């Protein structure tokens, strides 16, 4: 039996466009004498469709597309994901389904059993869980078809009471096929592989696993579709961050050799590729071609500039450096050198006159007060006004350059350096930003070494350094990681006895994180590369009293 893994990049809501891509792959599969071509979870509508699922017309359009797909299955079998009406009088109106078409006939509709409601997932909001477990018989084989989460309930820490493959295994299937929509995070690649390998090993059945690829707003899908033999070895694996199409000739009597790519839990190359894909797809899918960046001569804007240049083409990324009276000559020169290295258009727009005008306008109101962070923020907001004006005039989307460390503790200015249509590195701690800069320079200087080596500074007052307000980033990032990603309270973090960390510092940092929730609530979408990014997957109350 020839089984094809069709790993595609879908656009959420573009049902007709997605269907066209699916039909193209079906035609390709027919040419290569494929018996079954498999697409990913909710391929027809794109994943995750969120509240588009609440519109009956949206589901009706999906059903129309499914009918078109069915009519094109002469001489081939197709497994494709789509929402479907449940037809239930009690319960949710929809199922998350996989349609098994063969020779223009619907052999079976398989509905998803396990509906995740953690982190970025909220599937029980829309779908009813499946309660019927039946294999599909095709070409003399019994096929256990599951959808994404259905294969994740297998380790010692099970989230669900039922395990779909335990039910299907009783029917003695010879092969498993899983349609997936599994997003990327830097600790997820090996976890996903391990779980899927464990399924094959546990049940002694080979697994064909198809994931989607591409960026959908903040959520990034890395692909990595694969065929795993019955002893749990990865035999074939699709590309990461690219559409791919692989045909595997499968014989139930054979065991195939391990042939997977070497990627690990934390790979800076994968993070880099994820961000490049995320920027490219964000712009492409909403119809933007050009970006504008406030280029400060610092590490954050430099890394964002380099990623955007790779994603969009350097000529499509406008860099504007906006020096104040406190900006160093070196920062201006470094920003210019970066633009030259990349080949991006570059402008210098000083903000002194803008800032002076704001100061004069507010002079009467501020009379008798000392200069403080207000004046610092006015400089940041002056830059934000300039960037947004450029965006309005020329149609370039502003890219936000804040990192996760800054966002976590509120070391950012609302309506100033927080402005932008997309946050590119908002899920990277400062130390990761440096690591990414070094990766970008792996073949030679792209980001000037002066930028990487200089001490971080917002340059909003004389001789300012980030360390004036924050602990060293290696220490800050550790505290933030344990609090945000690992969800540890201050007592637990203090008990870890991290060098340079005491109770007062831990409690101060955690208070800063909690106090600045209102800022992050207003931030632009952030490309997600960790398992606990700010945004969709972290839902903390803004108005609350709690002490971790």
Q: Which one of the listed residues 148, 237, 238, 419 is annotated catalytic?
A: 148
Token pair in block for residue 228:
């795993």
Angle between helices 268-286 and 299-312 (to 10 degrees): 60
CA–CA dist 397, 289 (Å, integer)? 8
**Of 194, 283, 181, 282, which Cα lies nearest the Cα of 222?**
181
CA–CA dist 140, 226 (Å, integer)? 23
Q: Which one of the listed residues 112, 318, 337, 532 is annotated catalytic?
A: 112
Per DSSP, the three-state class of 154 is: coil
Q: Which residues pair with 142 in a beta bridge?
A: 137
CA–CA dist 62, 14 (Å, integer)? 10
Token pair in block for residue 435:
């690591």
Pairing of strands 291-294, 77-85: unpaired
E-strand ranges in 277-333 read 291-294, 317-321
**Is-contact 241 213, C-beta < 8 A?**
yes
**Of 443, 322, 307, 290, which Cα lies nearest the Cα of 386?**
322
**Is-contact 482 493, C-beta < 8 A?**
yes
What values do phi and psi take at 94, rounded to 5? -125, 155
Q: In Å, how far are 92, 399, 451 from 300, measured between CA atoms?
A: 45, 11, 9
* C-alpha Rg value of the chain to the nearest Å: 26
CA–CA dist 54, 124 (Å, integer)? 13
**Is-contact 327 463, C-beta < 8 A?**
no
Q: Which residues pair with 222 in a beta bridge?
A: 213
Q: In Å, how far are 271, 442, 445 from 451, measured between CA atoms?
A: 21, 15, 11
E-strand ranges in 30-152 read 36-38, 77-85, 94-102, 105-111, 136-138, 141-147
Q: Is 41 a catalytic residue?
A: yes
Query: If you search the block for the tokens 């790979």, which residue do you land on?
Result: 267
Q: In Å, how far are 187, 191, 196 from 202, measured between CA atoms?
A: 23, 16, 10
Distance of CA 191 to the CA centre of its chain: 16
DSSP code, position 482: I
DSSP code, position 182: -
What values do phi and psi take at 90, rounded to 5? -125, 140
Q: Is 112 a catalytic residue?
A: yes
CA–CA dist 292, 424 (Å, integer)? 13
Q: Is 406 a catalytic residue?
A: no
**Is-contact 279 308, C-beta < 8 A?**
yes
Q: Which residues are catalytic?
A: 41, 112, 148
């Amino acid at each position: 039996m020839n089984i094809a893994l069709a790993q595609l990049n879908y656009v959420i809501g573009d049902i007709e466009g997605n269907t066209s891509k699916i039909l193209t792959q079906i035609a390709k599969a027919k040419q290569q004498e494929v018996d079954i071509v498999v697409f990913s979870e909710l391929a027809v509508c794109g994943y995750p469709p969120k509240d588009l699922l609440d519109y009956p017309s949206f589901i009706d359009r999906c059903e129309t597309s499914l009918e078109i797909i069915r009519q094109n299955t002469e001489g081939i079998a197709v497994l494709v994901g789509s929402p479907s009406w449940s037809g239930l009088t009690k319960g949710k109106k929809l199922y998350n389904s996989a349609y098994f078409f063969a020779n223009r006939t619907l052999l079976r509709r398989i509905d998803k059993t396990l509906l995740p409601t953690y982190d970025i997932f909220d599937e029980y909001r829309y779908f009813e869980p499946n309660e019927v477990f039946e294999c599909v018989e095709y070409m003399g084989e019994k096929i256990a078809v599951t959808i994404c989460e259905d294969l994740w309930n297998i380790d010692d820490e099970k989230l669900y009471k039922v395990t779909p493959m335990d039910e299907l295994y009783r029917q003695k299937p010879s092969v498993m096929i899983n349609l997936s929509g599994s997003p990327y995070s830097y600790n997820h690649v090996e976890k996903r592989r391990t779980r899927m390998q464990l399924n094959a090993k546990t049940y002694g059945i080979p697994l064909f696993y198809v994931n989607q690829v591409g960026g959908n707003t903040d959520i990034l899908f890395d692909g990595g579709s694969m065929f795993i033999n019955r002893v749990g070895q990865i035999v074939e694996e699709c590309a990461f961050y690219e559409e791919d199409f692989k045909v595997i000739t499968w014989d139930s009597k054979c065991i195939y050799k391990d042939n997977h790519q070497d990627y690990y839990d934390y790979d800076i190359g994968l993070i880099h590729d994820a961000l490049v894909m995320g920027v490219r797809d964000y712009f492409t899918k909403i119809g933007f071609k050009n970006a504008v960046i406030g280029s400060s001569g610092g590490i954050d804007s430099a890394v964002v500039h380099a990623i955007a240049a790779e994603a969009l083409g350097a000529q499509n990324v406008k860099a504007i450096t906006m020096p104040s009276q406190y900006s160093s000559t070196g920062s201006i020169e470094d920003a210019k050198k970066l633009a030259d290295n990349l080949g991006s258009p570059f402008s210098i727009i000083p903000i002194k006159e803008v800032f002076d005008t704001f100061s004069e306008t507010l002079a009467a109101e501020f009379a008798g007060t000392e200069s403080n962070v207000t004046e610092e923020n006015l400089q940041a907001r002056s830059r934000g006004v300039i960037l947004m004006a450029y965006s309005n005039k020329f149609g370039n989307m502003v890219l936000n350059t804040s990192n996760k460390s800054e966002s976590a503790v509120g070391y950012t200015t609302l309506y100033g350096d927080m402005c932008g249509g997309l946050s590119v590195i908002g899920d990277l701690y400062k130390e990761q930003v440096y690591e990414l800069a070094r990766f970008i320079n792996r073949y030679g200087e792209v980001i000037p070494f002066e930028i990487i080596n200089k001490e971080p500074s917002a340059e909003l007052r004389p001789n300012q350094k980030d360390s004036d307000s924050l602990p060293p980033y290696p220490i800050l990032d550790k505290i933030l990681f344990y609090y945000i990603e690992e969800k540890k309270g201050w007592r637990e973090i203090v008990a870890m006895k991290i060098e340079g960390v005491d109770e007062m510092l831990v409690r101060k940092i955690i208070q800063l994180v909690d106090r600045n929730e209102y800022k992050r609530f207003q931030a632009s979408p952030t490309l997600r590369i960790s398992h606990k990014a700010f945004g969709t997957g972290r839902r903390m109350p803004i108005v609350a009293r709690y002490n971790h």
